Amino acid sequence: MILIPAIDLMNGCCVRLKQGDLDNNITIYNDDPADQAERWVALGAERIHIVDLDGAKSGEPSNVEAIERMIEKIGGRAQIELGGGIRSLRQVEAYLKAGAHYCVIGTAAVNDPIFLKNACHEFAGHIIVALDAKDGYVATNGWVETTDTRVTEIAKLFEGLGVSAFLYTDIARDGMLTGVNVEATAELARTTSVPVIASGGMHTVEDVRALLATGEKGIMGAILGRSLYEGTIDFAEAQKIVTGGES
């Protein structure tokens, strides 16, 4: 399992939200996202998770300049997975050409499975699908709309398309430091053959241990956000746990 620090972008700044609320509960941690990316890489991060929050809400990429600076800053020292407002094959291509390793598609995948199928075909090995859940049901459009489809149902529909991973987020826990939803993450990992990345609520290293303790090999990673920014998880300690350097 790999640990993936998150950088959420709003108006060119590195921020964190609570429960995906784009209008309230916003905390700015760094007005220089490239500097923040450099900090995570310096701590040993192998991959960085970047979300264009403005893009997720508007449906169009909105922090391109900040994203390009981050990619330039960290070079090839860490992989970048990037999401938020990706609604076209052209945008996927642009981000991959700019240096991103993976593009994360959420709303567009749910609303237009043909687009997802084409993206997986044209950019094989580079597409991650974000499955964001409210009470087990898929949420879209920056988490402001909830569908009547369960996450596990969507996963079954998408797993044969060539998706590289599912990024599963329990919205109720996101940014709340209440602990990751281990049970739901493990259930999704059992449901699909596609690797699962856990997100939402990571609080302490005990959450890291809990994910590992499920024994689900399909859980291939975990996103760390507010827990890193506020110091409730020490990245170096967490890395030792996932690499077997600490029990």
- Taking residues 206-221, what's their average pLDDT? 95
What integer pLDDT is reported at residue 200 of this predicted model?
84
Phi-psi region at 65: left, alpha or beta (left = phi > 0; alpha = psi -120 to 50):
alpha
Q: pLDDT at residue 20 above 60?
A: no
Active-site annotation holds for 174: no
Q: Is the pLDDT of residue 101 over 60?
A: yes
Query: Among 54, 132, 170, 174, which one carries the catalytic annotation?
Result: 132
- Give the active site residue among 8, 54, 170, 174: 8
d(CA 32, CA 189): 35
174: pLDDT strictly greater than 60 = no
In this prediction the pTM is 0.90
Answer yes or no: is pLDDT of 163 > 60. yes
Calculate the average pLDDT of the chain. 89
Which H/E stretch holds residue 168?
strand 165-170
Determine the Cα–Cα distance for residues 71 and 50; give it in Å rounded to an integer.
10
Q: Residue 244's pLDDT is what?
A: 84
Rounded Cα distance between 134 and 31, Å, is: 30
136: left (phi over 0), alpha (psi -120 to 50) or beta: left
Establish how many alpha carbons lie within 13 A of residue 86's alpha carbon, considering only the half-sphere containing its beta carbon: 30
Told to judge if 132 belongs to the known catalytic residues of this protein, a careful annotator would answer yes
